[in-house]
């Protein structure tokens, strides 16, 4: 079921913040009423595509923050694994220099709540527990507003990296609609006109075209 338009599932979990500090009670509740949140899931630490995404978000972190948006990453690895990966330099495949929080979804409940867990448990014909696939997170991304409502979601399969500029564009679109009460047409970008519904229900571009 899509989470768009619904409350983002809450959680409290261990996380690594500020590039190396482990906390045990990280929660999205701390952002409610103050910040937008981009929460993104990735499959595994110490892999190949994942560090390119984490570094790409770090490179644009200032752009998110100046819009009042926090960036939070999450995978099913442990906080100790996150911490170890953070100590490894970028030229060695590490994510040293990442400063936004990286959540440890060790029991996979967060990934299940956001419906990004690849695979599920089942009992085989002998009653033994098995899994349909490796239980790691797909590349899910959620844009959450200041009221804790999911306004945008995107889920990519494991090999397909995301476009961080598109996440920024969607954040700009959300802010635009909140501030102007107008909708954003296809390929909208910051600085472009929005759409306004006229009294007879016909949408039209604002401004001169």
* 3-state percent breakdown (helix, strand, coil) of the chain, nearest 5: 25, 30, 45
Polymer length of the chain:
209
CA-CA distance, 77 to 121, in Å (whole number)? 18
HEC per residue, 127-143: CCEEECCCCCECEEEEE
Residue partners of 145: CB distance under 8 A and separation at least 6: 36, 151, 174, 178
Catalytic residue among 50, 69, 74, 184: 50
Q: Is 69 annotated as catalytic?
A: no
Burial 177-187 (b: 16+ CB within 10 A, else e): beeeebebeee
Q: In degrees rounded to 5, what are phi and psi of residue 137?
A: -85, 140
52 contacts 43 by C-beta, under 8 angstroms: no
Q: Residue holding tokens 């690594």?
A: 16
Distance in Å from the first CA to the final CA of the chain: 39
Active site residues: 50
């Amino acid at each position: 079921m899509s989470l768009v338009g619904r409350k983002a599932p809450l959680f409290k979990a261990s996380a690594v913040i500020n590039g190396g500090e482990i906390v045990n009670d990280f929660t999205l509740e701390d952002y409610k009423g103050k910040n937008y949140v981009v929460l993104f899931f990735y499959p595994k630490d110490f892999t190949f595509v994942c560090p390119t995404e984490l570094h790409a978000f770090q490179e644009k972190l200032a752009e998110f923050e100046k819009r009042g948006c926090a960036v939070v990453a999450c995978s099913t690895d442990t906080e100790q694994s996150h911490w170890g990966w953070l100590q490894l330099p970028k030229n060695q495949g590490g994510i040293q220099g990442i400063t936004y929080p990286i959540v440890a979804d060790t029991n996979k409940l967060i990934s299940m709540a956001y419906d990004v867990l690849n695979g599920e448990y089942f009992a085989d014909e002998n009653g033994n527990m098995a899994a349909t696939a490796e239980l790691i997170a797909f590349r899910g991304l959620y844009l959450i507003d200041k009221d804790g409502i999911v306004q945008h979601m995107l889920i990519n399969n494991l090999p397909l990296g995301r476009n961080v500029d598109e996440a920024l564009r969607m954040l700009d679109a959300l802010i635009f609609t909140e501030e102007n009460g107008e909708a954003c047409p296809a390929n909208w970008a910051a600085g472009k006109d929005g759409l306004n519904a006229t009294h007879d229900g016909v949408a039209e571009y604002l401004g001169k075209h």
